[in-house]
Each structure stands twice: as structure tokens, then as C-alpha cells.
Structure 1
Amino acid sequence: MRYAQGGGLTAERRQFRERIRFEAGERFARGERNAVIAKELRVSERSVERWRRAWREGGRAALASAGPPKLPKLSDDRFAELEQELARGPAEHGWEDQRWTLARIRALILWRFDLDVSPAAVWRLLHRHGWSWQSPARRAMERDEHAVELWKKDVWPRAE
């Protein structure tokens, strides 16, 4: 992974970098050379050249941050709707078994929101909202959850 957050910069880090570009813009206006600006701001000369070109074409506004590179395609409200659909289970949506896969969630997003996203985008969306990959344990149909809980409570402590 490129960044600790799983992708992109934090808002604070984007602001920090924007301040450096604005400082460079002030120095461009004073006529300072790229090499001097790069050395004092501790950035590459190539970045300073790119910023100077943007500054010439669009002024100070061209040095402003463009914001996060990828905004989520589903808003928090729409993701809440997606979670409700996921809670209903795959069988409710026409699949034979009870496994959600990225391909199935992608299809659900396409059907429900008319939005075509890649499997990687589905994974990023789920991960961003705290979902994780899970492999369900196979359990017998005859399993009695109440009896298991009683056993854990009464028998297991004595076995230790």
C-alpha cells in the first residue's frame, strides 16, 4: 500500500502541500529561480517547474489542491441503503447460496443504484466503511445454538 490510510492523503497533509505550492507561487512572483525555490522548500526542481507552469497559466488558483483524487461513488446515505440490501442476504436477490462476493455486490450496486463500479472499487468502498473479508465457517444444519451456549457456559470452564 502506498499510504497508511489505504490510499490518498489526509486532509491535513493535502493542506500542508498546498501551502508549499502557495509559498512557491509567491516566490515565482518575486522572480526567484526554480533551483533556489526547490532547495529552500525541500522539493524537487521538477515539481517546482510543474508548479511554475501551472502558476503562469492559471495564477495562484492553479496551485490550489484539487481535493481527494477519488471521491466515493456512493454517498454515506446510499451506502446505508446498500448495507440494508446486503443484510437481506444473497438469496433475497436471486442467488442460490448465502455468500456475498465482490462480483455479486457489484451486480447489486448496478441493479440498485444504476452505477457500474469495478470489483476493486467495491472492495475499497466496503473497506472504507469497516467491512472485512470473511470466510464463513461451515455449520451443521442440526446445530443447536442454545445448547452450544449452555455448554460454553457450564462445561467449558470446568474443562480448563
Structure 2
Amino acid sequence: MGIASWQPSKYSRVQLEERRLAALEWLQASTATHKEIAEHFGVSVKTVSSWKERLKKNGTLQATVAQGRTPFLTQEQHDQVRTLLREGPLAHGFPDDTWTTPRVRELIGRNLNVWYHRDHVRKLLHALGFTPQKPDGRAVERNDQRIMTWVEQVHPELEKKGG
């Protein structure tokens, strides 16, 4: 049994590019067969063929940048969403002054006819510069004066009766 060198089951993008660029010299020299190149670099003959095609088409084996999906909203529409959000939920017919992701989703859908998944709305809001806000835990109806009066007058009386 021959000694085989250990190789990872997955390579990083950097490692894959490094291997392609190392193979570039072999491909340009044209002295080795596809099979010999494949065996030396631990790839299939088909991979060597695709490298050769890529070199012919692009003139390089360097990695390309993945572009990703085209955004659903333009920059102008992002600005429009910011404006709509700053108008507040009440201005758009919601029952209270709280933005939730389902409400933001509905706002964008109604106004721009783009319906995001509710989980993606959070990412969109972050990209627009909005951050999650936590309620301060105080009721809108809170009356600090009545609370002070109760603490100063009623509470001591209750302690007297209980103690």
C-alpha cells in the first residue's frame, strides 16, 4: 500500500484559486497531458478541461467575484422606504405607533409592489440604517405624579395596617 497524502474534503476559495493558478503554468507549457495535470493537482480530467476553456475564454484562471442576486429595490426605492417609515405607522393606517417586520413588509408591498419574506425585512431595515428598538417598558398612560402620591401617602398607610 502506497503512502497517500492527506487532503481536506473541502477547499476554501483561496485554496482552490491557489491550485488553479499553480496549474496555469502546466496548462500554458502544454507539455503535460490533461490526465497528468489532473493527477498532479488531484482533480478530474474534466476539471483540467474546464480550466483550459476558462483560460481560453477569460485569459486567466483567477477567481471571479460572485455578483449575487439583483436587488429587488433600486436606490431611489430605498430612499422612498426610508421616507415612508419616517412618516410613522399611524400615517399608513396601522392602529398604533409601532413598526413591526410584518407591518414594514406590508408597507413595502402596498407602496412598491415588492413583497419580501418577513425574515428578510430585518436585513433590509438594517441596510437602510434602522436598528431594532426595544420598548421602554412604561405604559403610555403612566402618570408619574399619581405614582409619587401613592408612594408618599397610600403605601405608608398600607404598611401600617399590615405591620
When the two structures are aligned, how many residues end up with a matched partner?
123
Letter in 2 for 1:99: T
Partner of 1:34: 38
Q: Does the Cα contact within 8 Å between 1:109 and 1:116 map onto a contact in 2?
A: yes
Partner of 1:53: 50
What's the Cα RMSD here?
3.8
**Which structure would you say has the larger Rg?**
2
Q: Does the Cα contact within 8 Å between 1:72 and 1:125 map onto a contact in 2?
A: no
- Offset of residue 100 of structure 1: 0.9
Change beyond 3 A, Cα 1:54–1:98 = farther
Partner of 1:75: 74
Matches for 1:1-160 after TM superposition, within 5 Å: 23=21, 26-27=24-25, 28=27, 30=29, 33-37=37-41, 45=43, 52-53=49-50, 56=53, 59-61=56-58, 65=64, 67-139=66-138, 141=140
Q: Does the Cα contact within 8 Å between 1:25 and 1:55 map onto a contact in 2?
A: no
Could you tell me the TM-score, scaled by structure 1's length? 0.54
Distance 2:46 2:22 in 1: 10
Identity within the alignment, % = 25
Change beyond 3 A, Cα 1:20–1:107 = farther
Q: Does the Cα contact within 8 Å between 2:82 and 2:128 map onto a contact in 1?
A: no
Distance 1:50 1:122 in 2: 40
Larger RCO (CA within 8 A; separation ≥ 6): 1
Distance 1:25 1:108 in 2: 53
* Superposition misfits of 4+ residues, deviation over 6 angstroms: 16-19
5+ residue gaps in structure 1?
A: 1-13, 39-44, 145-160
- Offset of residue 129 of structure 1: 2.8
Distance 1:136 1:26 in 2: 59
Q: Does the Cα contact within 8 Å between 2:89 and 2:99 map onto a contact in 1?
A: yes
